[in-house]
Amino acid sequence: MKILFFVSSMHAGGAERVAATLASAWAQRGDHVTLVPSYTKKGSLFYPLDAGVELTWLADRMGWLGRTWFASVAKWFAMRRLIKETRPDVVVSFLTNVNVMVLLAARGLDVSTIVCERTNPSVSSSAGRALVWLRRHTYPWASLVTVQSQDSVASFQKMVPTLRRIAVIPNPLPPELAGALPVRDVQRLESAPRRRRMVAMGRLMPVKRFGPLILAYGTLAGDFPEWDLYIWGEGPLRPELMSMVQTAGLEGRVFLPGRTSTPWEELAAADVFVLASEVEGFPNVLLEAMALGVACVTVDCPSGPRELSRDGEDALLVPLGDDQALAAAMAQLMTDPVLRGVLGKHAAVSVRDRYALPEILHQWDGLIASVQQPNSQEVQV
């Protein structure tokens, strides 16, 4: 099968890592995969790719027009020319702005197109008004639109009521994590004489709600003197969060060490992981913490935590915006090492089964086959 795969860039990021994982897996099994980062300033390749993936930087095909006010036109021509040259069995595209341009470029070329939303569009503000308008008018041209969780389906159908077909397909676990990193040895870690660590991770921005998390932890810090909070990540809220820590007198208890090049190792070192976000497209970091066997607390935000946790069976699920419930769930895990061990072990078994790369590839195979059947009906996975 020939797959033409468009992404925005190949910088560090969740969508980029999933793109690298899928492209490499398809190539390893013998599919012909052309991966095309469409960022006009090109950039660099952050995630490794299988040698069988053909990497084509769209910026290299846009010429000098890509550096002018006519960059959008140059991008359209370059995409359309690449689709014609490649003659793929299917075009796959990630992220709203890329999706819109791909659909414009593929218009009238009689090629199957699958465009993938990487956030929950009904609650995300990442798309401006013009892009929202374009999405509403171009997405009905797609053979299939995918979202990452069932939470997104109904609201997205209201936003784009003339969609032909919509399906749910989650992110796979990175094979490096599932295959190489074992589930943490809870018994050994619990018996070790050390400080306990609560961990959160993500870009330091309002939507991640790290401020309320710090305040919730602050209500517990006096009762749990052996527990510290680590928030890994970088972003514009760093000064505000640092000031909050100082004002609350939590220096030496709350740490903001910045980005980490070893996120899985930091997650595996945690005794509890907390996700407090206002909204997620699909929380990869929660999936990864659960896969490593870390006991997790997550808010029931759109979208993903409810499905990942199986309605709260595999992680403590608390209502969004109820910071007292968040603190209570954190305290429950801080108090009970047996619950931490059981919850973490169940979480690892559950997500390693449901989100293993072979399972997600099987779902992708079904979707790709369905768009090549002209009379196929609406699909939801």
- Interval 90-121: pLDDT, tens: 999 999 999 999 999 999 999 999 999 987 76
Q: Which residues contact 151 (CB under 8 A, 6 or more apart)?
A: 120, 302, 303, 304, 306, 307
Alpha carbon distance 270, 293 (integer Å): 10
pLDDT at 379 over 50: no
Asked if 34 and 86 count as a contact pair (C-beta separation under 8 A), the reply is: yes
**Average pLDDT taken over every residue of the chain:** 90
| Homologous superfamily in CATH for domain 2-172+357-371 | Glycogen Phosphorylase B; (3.40.50.2000)
Phi and psi angles of residue 208, each rounded to the nearest 5 degrees, phi first: -80, -15
The residue ranking higher by pLDDT, 48 or 218, is 218
How much is the pLDDT for 40? 80
Q: Please give the average per-residue pLDDT across 301-321, as a whole number.
A: 95
How much is the pLDDT for 156? 85
How much is the pLDDT for 180? 54
How much is the pLDDT for 381? 45
Element (H, E) at 352: helix 337-354
Chain centroid to Cα 143, Å, comes to: 23
Q: Please give the average per-residue pLDDT across 340-352, as a whole number.
A: 94
Edge-to-edge strands, sheet with 32-37: 54-55, 32-37, 2-7, 90-94, 113-116, 144-147, 166-168
The residue ranking higher by pLDDT, 125 or 271, is 271
Alpha carbon distance 21, 18 (integer Å): 5
Share of the chain above pLDDT 90, in %: 71
- Interval 169-225: pLDDT, tens: 999 998 888 765 556 565 566 666 679 999 999 999 999 999 999 999 999 999 999
How much is the pLDDT for 68? 63
Alpha carbon distance 23, 54 (integer Å): 9
Element (H, E) at 267: helix 263-268
pLDDT at 50 over 90: yes
Asked if 288 and 178 count as a contact pair (C-beta separation under 8 A), the reply is: no
| Residue 114 in tokens | 């699958």
| Residue 68 in tokens | 């002018």
Asked if 338 and 331 count as a contact pair (C-beta separation under 8 A), the reply is: no
- Interval 160-175: pLDDT, tens: 889 889 999 999 998 8
Task: Look at the alpha carbons of 160, 164, 170, 176 in this order and tell me if their dihedral is positive or negative.
Answer: negative
Place of tokens 């954190």: 330
Nearest alpha-carbon partner for 211 in 228, 193, 181, 231:
231
Domain residue extents for the chain? 2-172+357-371, 175-354
Nearest alpha-carbon partner for 168 in 99, 116, 121:
116
**pTM check: above 0.75:** yes
Least confident of 40-44, 64-68, 83-87, 269-273: 64-68
Phi and psi angles of residue 317, each rounded to the nearest 5 degrees, phi first: -110, 120
Question: Which architecture, in CATH terms, is 175-354?
Answer: 3-Layer(aba) Sandwich (3.40)
Chain centroid to Cα 293, Å, comes to: 19
Question: In Å, what is the CA distance from 247 to each residue of 231, 240, 250, 251, 262?
Answer: 17, 10, 8, 9, 30
Q: Evaluate whether 2-172+357-371 and 175-354 have a shared fold.
A: yes
Render the burial of 165-183: b for 16+ CB within 10 Å, e for the rest.
Answer: bbbbbbbbbbeebbeebeb
- Interval 275-302: pLDDT, tens: 999 988 889 999 999 999 999 999 999 8
Phi and psi angles of residue 239, each rounded to the nearest 5 degrees, phi first: -60, -40
